[in-house]
Amino acid sequence: MKSNMAEEDDYMSDSFINVQEDVRPGLPMLRQIREARRKEEKQQEANLKNRQKSLKEEEQERRDIGLKNALGCENKGFALLQKMGYKSGQALGKSGDGIVEPIPLNVKTGKSGIGHEALLKRKAEEKLESYRKKIHMRNQAEEKAAEQFRMRLKNKQDEVKLEGDLRRSQRACQQLDTQKNIQVPREAWYWLRLEEETEEEEEEEQDEDEYKSEDLSVSEKLQILTSYLREEHLYCIWCGTAYEDKEDLSSNCPGPTSADHD
């Protein structure tokens, strides 16, 4: 009776009544995650143990094992070599200068036919060569376009320079002709403008001058006008000097063109 009361006392003791559960936030979820991970790891281990190897894997393993093991005396070919004096690890050949290791085995595992890999390699090389040609042609086109742009820019600069030299020549021609009391230029375009002409005369002469000057380029006009200045006034626009005589001009002026003065 007393033992039963003791058991009841133990059952009703504070150790049973005051038990507190761990109610920290997130703890049940962590336990579930850990349990799921343990189950997953066990399942993976079981799968690895029970996994059946494929036919190719078994063939590869048997092949590797066979290639790693050296031939023994039970092999008929090796036995014949030994009868002829061959020893394991010795080079082949009468003079012993042949190969020591056997020719490596290259096993074809794919389903493609013989020569297919070489065909793929050749196609890849052709594709690469075609790509290189395209890049080369594109680079050449870009270089050509850049060169043409530089040429156009240079021609434009040369044209602007020629027009400037022509205006300077026209201005110098007008001043020097005026100093010699020449009232009318030899050609209307020799001067920048004619100051003492009436509007009617300007229109008539402008029509004639346009017809004549259209046949001449800026460089041709510049050449004609500088020659006139040198012969008539002994003047060089690039030197900016009026010389005393022809001998002085020929000896001290570098030449009749702009390139001569560079």
Q: What is the per-residue pLDDT for 2?
A: 43
Question: 168 pLDDT exceeds 70?
Answer: yes
Q: What is the per-residue pLDDT for 28?
A: 62
Q: What is the pLDDT of residues 83-115, one digit of tens each?
A: 887 777 788 777 778 887 777 777 766 677 777
Neighbours of 221 (CB within 10 A): 20
Lookup result for tokens 């001290």: 252
Lookup result for tokens 């065909």: 119
More confident residue, 259 or 94: 259
Question: 221 pLDDT exceeds 70?
Answer: yes
* DSSP strand pairing (241-242 vs 235-236): antiparallel
CA distance 212 to 205: 10
- HSE-CB at 57 with a 13 A cutoff on CA atoms is 4
Give the DSSP H/E element, type plus range, for residue 76.
helix 76-83
* Confidence label for 1 from pLDDT (cuts 50, 70 and 90): very low
* Averaged pLDDT, 152-177: 89
CA distance 262 to 260: 6
